[in-house]
Amino acid sequence: MAEYESTRHQVCTVKCVQSRACSHVCTVTCVQSRVYSHVRAVTCVQSLRTVKSVQSSVYSHVCTVTCVQSRVYSHVCTVE
């Protein structure tokens, strides 16, 4: 497991692990900052708006981004 921290402006922590379903499975914990209302590109995740697809001959691997709100964090996004 590798853990990365994005820039101070993004205020995000990304944890990544290898998986069969995806080349990488990342858990993105984000906290909205005063600079950006929405967190964008982070390590292992080019965008929180990653297009979800299904594993097929067209796509070698698929990652789906789902987000939920939390009391502690403004956004807790998990890439599965």
Dihedral over Cα of 8, 9, 12, 14: its sign: negative
* Domain map (residue ranges) of the chain: 1-80
pLDDT tens-place values along the chain, 80 residues long? 344 444 333 344 444 444 444 444 444 444 444 333 333 333 333 333 333 333 333 333 334 444 433 333 334 444 43
- pTM score: 0.21
The closest alpha carbon to 16, from 31, 30, 28, belongs to 28
